[in-house]
C-alpha cells in the first residue's frame, strides 16, 4: 500500500480564490433569483412553491454540514466501521423522522412559518414562546459556527490559511449572497451545492482508493491491526458517543427551524417524498467520505501528523498526502466548502424567518410591508456580524456548540407531545425543559455524558406528561389554523426589493 507522502501546503491564494470564487458563483445565481421574491412572504417561505427537485436537493445540502462530512472520516479513523454506523445511520434517520411532523403541521397549521409561531399559537404562553425563540436563535448561530469550523479545518490542513481571515472571508461571502433571495436563493443554491458535493466526493474517494493500492490493500492493513476496527457493532463506540449523538441528531432536525421552514415552504403534495428522498439519499455522502478515514487508518496516519486539527483533519490530510492531482484536492475542498455554504445559508434563511414572524411582526404588528422586508433582510447582515464577532473573539465555540446541542435535546419530548398530544400544556412544556436541564446539565459538567443525556430526556418526559395530566386541559388543534399566516395577508409590493 502507498505510504503517506510529505506534502507542503497548496498556495494560499488558491485557497482564498476558492472561498471567494464559490461565493461569487452563488451570488450570480442569487441575483438571478431575485425576481422570485416580491414580498416578505416570498423571502421567508418561498411562496410555499418549492417543488420536489429543489426540495430534495436543498434538504440533502442543508443537512450535509461541513463538519458532518469531516466527522464521518474522523469517526471511521477513530473507531473503525462502528464509528460510521453510529455516526451515519442516525444522521439519515433524523431527516426521515421529520415526515410525521411535517404532515401533522401542514394539516393543522397550513399557513405557518416558524416553530416559534407554532409554540405561540399552541400555548398562548409568553414564557414558552421566549424559551423556544431563544433555543432557535442560539441553535442557528451554533450551526453557523460549527460549519465555519469545518472551513477553517480544511483550509488550514490543505492551504495553511489563517483561521481568523478564513472565518471573516467566509462569513462575508455567504452573508452577501444570502441577502438577495431568502429561502428561494437558499433552496436553489443548496441544490447546486448538492451536485458539487455528491459527484466530486465520489471521484475523489475512488481516486484515493486507486492511489493507495485499492480497497483490498487498505482492508488488509486495517485487519492486520486487530481490535474492533472492522466490527461494525462494537459496544464501546455506542457507549462512547453513539447513543448521545443519535438523540442529539434527532433533536437537531425535529427542533430546528431550518427544517420547519422547509416543511411549510414545500408544495404540500411533495412533503413526504421530499424528506424521505432527502434522508435516504443523504446516507451515501458520509458513507463515501467515511472511507477516507479508513484509508487514514490503513496508512497508519498518527494523531501527531494531524496536529491541532485532530481526527477531524484526517480526510483533508489523506487527500492532500497521497499524491492526488491538484484538481482533485481542489474538488475535495469544494465538497467541504459547498457543505459549509449551504448549511450556513440555510441557517441564515431560517434566522430571517424568525426575525420577520416572531420578532418584528410581534413587536410592531402594523409594520409596513416594505419596512418589514428591509428589516428582515437587514437581520442577515446583523446575524453575519454577530457570527464574525463571536468567531474572531477566540471563544471555544466548539464547546459552546456541543453545549447548545445538548440543550436542544431537551426539546424532543415537549415538542413531540405539543404536536401529537392535545393535553400538553404550556406550563408542562416550560417545566419539562427547565427540569430536564436542571438534572442533565450538572451531570454533563461532572463528565457523565451518557447518563446526562438519559437523565435529561427521562426527566423532561416525566415532567411534561405529569404536569399536563395534572392540569386536565385539552387543546383544539384546529385553532392553529386561525393563528398563523399573517404575512400571507400582506399584498405583494413591487419594488420592495
Partner 1 sequence: MIAFYIALVLGGVIAAAYIALGYAEFQRARKSYDQTAVTSEEDLDAQGQGFTWIALGGVVASTTLLVLISHTSWAWYILPFLSLGSALAVVAAFVVDREEAETQSQGAA
Looking at 156-164, 208-216, 340-348, 398-406, which segment touches partner 1 (CB under 8 A)? Answer: 208-216
Among 180, 241, 277, 413, binds partner 1 (CB under 8 A): 277
Give the nearer residue to partner 1 in terms of CB position, either 200 or 316.
Answer: 200
Would you list the DSSP string of 354-381? HIIIIIIHHH-TT--HHHHHHHHHHHHH
Among 219, 235, 364, 385, binds partner 1 (CB under 8 A): 219
Among 1, 14, 89, 443, binds partner 1 (CB under 8 A): 89
Task: Give the C-alpha separation, 468 to 464, whole Å.
Answer: 6
310 near partner 1, judged by CB under 8 A: no
Per-residue burial over 409-437, b if 16 or more Cβ lie within 10 Å, else e, is bbbbbbbbbbbeeeebbbbbbbbbbbbbb
If you ran DSSP here, which 8-state letter would residue 266 be given? B
Among 36, 180, 264, 413, binds partner 1 (CB under 8 A): 36
Of 134, 135, 137, 166, nearest to 149 by C-alpha is 166
Looking at 142-150, 274-282, 412-420, 467-475, which segment touches partner 1 (CB under 8 A)? Answer: 274-282
- Interface size with partner 1, residues (CB under 8 A): 73
Would you list the DSSP string of 27-60? HHHHHHHGGG--SHHHHHHGGG-B-HHHHHHHHH
Q: How far is the CB of 113 from partner 1 (least distance, A)?
A: 16
Q: How far is the CB of 282 from partner 1 (least distance, A)?
A: 7
Task: Give the C-alpha separation, 136 to 348, whole Å.
Answer: 12
Q: What residues contact residue 244 under an 8 Å CB cut-off, 6+ apart? A: 449, 450, 452, 453
Among 126, 267, 473, 474, binds partner 1 (CB under 8 A): 267
Looking at 112-120, 168-176, 188-196, 371-379, which segment touches partner 1 (CB under 8 A)? Answer: 188-196
Grid coordinates of 269: 403534495
Among 215, 458, 466, 485, binds partner 1 (CB under 8 A): 215
213 near partner 1, judged by CB under 8 A: no
55 near partner 1, judged by CB under 8 A: yes
Q: How far is the CB of 139 from partner 1 (least distance, A)?
A: 24
Among 24, 124, 214, 227, binds partner 1 (CB under 8 A): 214
Among 283, 370, 449, 451, binds partner 1 (CB under 8 A): 283
Looking at 35-43, 161-169, 308-316, 378-386, which segment touches partner 1 (CB under 8 A)? Answer: 35-43
Among 227, 268, 300, 442, binds partner 1 (CB under 8 A): 268
Q: What residues contact residue 220 under an 8 Å CB cut-off, 6+ apart? A: 1
248 near partner 1, judged by CB under 8 A: no
Give the nearer residue to partner 1 in terms of CB position, either 126 or 488.
Answer: 488
Backbone angle region of 411, left / alpha / beta, with phi > 0 → left and psi within -120 to 50 → alpha: alpha
Task: Give the C-alpha separation, 178 to 185, whole Å.
Answer: 7
Tell how many helices (H) and how many strands (E) occur in the chain: 26, 0
Q: How far is the CB of 129 from partner 1 (least distance, A)?
A: 26
Task: Give the C-alpha separation, 46 to 37, whole Å.
Answer: 7
144 near partner 1, judged by CB under 8 A: no
1 near partner 1, judged by CB under 8 A: no
Among 34, 272, 370, 448, binds partner 1 (CB under 8 A): 272
Among 12, 21, 163, 232, binds partner 1 (CB under 8 A): 232
Q: Which residue has the cell 498518527?
A: 302
Residue 50 sits at φ, ψ, to 5 deg, of -75, 125
The neighbouring-strand residues paired with 266 are 50
Amino acid at each position: 500500500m502507498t505510504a503517506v507522502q510529505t506534502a507542503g501546503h497548496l498556495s494560499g491564494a488558491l485557497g482564498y480564490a476558492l472561498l471567494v470564487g464559490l461565493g461569487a458563483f452563488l451570488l450570480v445565481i442569487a441575483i438571478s433569483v431575485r425576481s422570485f421574491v416580491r414580498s416578505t412572504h416570498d423571502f421567508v417561505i418561498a411562496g410555499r412553491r418549492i417543488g420536489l427537485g429543489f426540495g430534495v436537493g436543498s434538504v440533502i445540502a442543508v443537512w450535509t454540514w461541513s463538519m458532518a462530512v469531516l466527522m464521518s472520516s474522523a469517526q471511521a479513523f477513530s473507531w473503525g466501521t462502528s464509528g460510521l454506523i453510529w455516526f451515519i445511520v442516525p444522521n439519515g434517520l433524523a431527516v426521515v423522522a421529520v415526515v410525521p411532523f411535517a404532515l401533522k403541521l401542514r394539516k393543522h397549521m397550513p399557513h405557518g412559518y416558524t416553530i416559534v409561531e407554532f409554540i405561540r399559537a399552541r400555548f398562548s404562553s409568553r414564557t414558552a414562546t421566549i424559551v423556544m425563540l431563544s433555543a432557535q436563535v442560539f441553535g442557528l448561530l451554533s450551526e453557523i459556527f460549527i460549519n465555519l469550523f469545518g472551513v477553517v479545518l480544511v483550509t488550514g490542513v490543505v492551504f495553511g490559511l489563517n483561521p481568523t481571515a478564513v472565518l471573516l472571508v467566509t462569513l462575508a461571502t455567504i452573508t452577501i449572497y444570502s441577502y438577495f433571495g431568502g429561502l428561494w436563493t437558499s433552496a436553489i443554491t443548496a441544490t447546486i451545492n448538492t451536485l458539487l458535493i455528491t459527484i466530486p466526493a465520489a471521484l475523489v474517494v475512488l481516486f484515493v482508493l486507486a492511489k493507495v493500492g485499492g480497497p483490498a490493500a487498505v482492508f488488509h492493513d486495517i485487519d492486520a491491526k486487530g481490535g474492533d476496527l472492522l466490527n461494525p457493532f462494537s459496544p464501546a463506540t455506542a457507549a462512547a458517543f453513539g447513543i448521545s449523538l443519535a438523540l442529539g441528531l434527532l433533536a437537531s432536525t425535529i427542533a430546528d427551524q431550518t427544517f420547519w421552514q422547509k416543511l411549510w415552504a414545500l408544495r404540500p403534495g411533495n412533503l413526504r417524498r421530499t424528506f424521505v428522498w432527502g434522508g435516504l439519499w443523504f446516507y451515501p455522502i458520509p458513507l463515501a467520505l467515511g472511507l477516507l478515514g479508513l484509508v487514514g487508518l490503513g496508512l497508519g496516519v498518527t494523531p501527531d501528523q494531524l496536529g491541532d486539527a485532530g481526527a477531524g483533519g484526517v480526510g483533508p490530510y489523506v487527500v492532500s498526502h497521497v499524491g492526488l492531482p491538484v484538481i482533485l484536492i481542489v474538488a475535495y475542498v469544494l465538497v467541504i466548502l459547498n457543505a459549509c455554504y449551504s448549511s450556513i445559508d440555510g441557517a441564515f434563511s431560517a434566522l430571517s424567518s424568525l426575525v420577520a414572524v416572531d420578532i418584528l411582526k410581534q413587536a410592531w404588528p402594523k409594520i409596513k410591508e416594505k419596512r418589514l422586508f428591509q428589516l428582515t433582510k437587514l437581520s442577515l447582515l446583523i446575524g453575519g456580524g454577530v457570527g464574525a464577532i463571536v468567531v474572531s473573539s477566540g471563544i471555544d465555540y466548539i464547546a459552546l456548540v456541543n453545549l447548545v446541542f445538548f440543550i436542544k435535546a431537551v426539546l424532543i419530548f415537549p415538542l413531540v407531545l405539543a404536536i401529537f398530544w392535545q393535553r400538553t400544556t404550556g406550563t408542562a412544556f416550560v417545566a419539562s425543559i427547565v427540569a430536564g436541564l436542571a438534572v442533565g446539565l450538572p451531570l454533563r459538567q461532572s463528565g457523565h455524558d451518557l447518563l446526562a443525556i438519559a437523565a435529561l430526556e427521562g426527566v423532561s418526559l416525566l415532567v411534561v406528561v405529569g404536569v399536563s395530566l395534572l392540569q386536565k386541559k385539552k387543546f383544539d388543534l384546529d385553532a392553529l389554523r386561525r393563528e398563523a399566516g399573517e404575512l400571507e395577508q400582506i399584498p405583494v409590493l413591487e419594488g420592495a426589493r
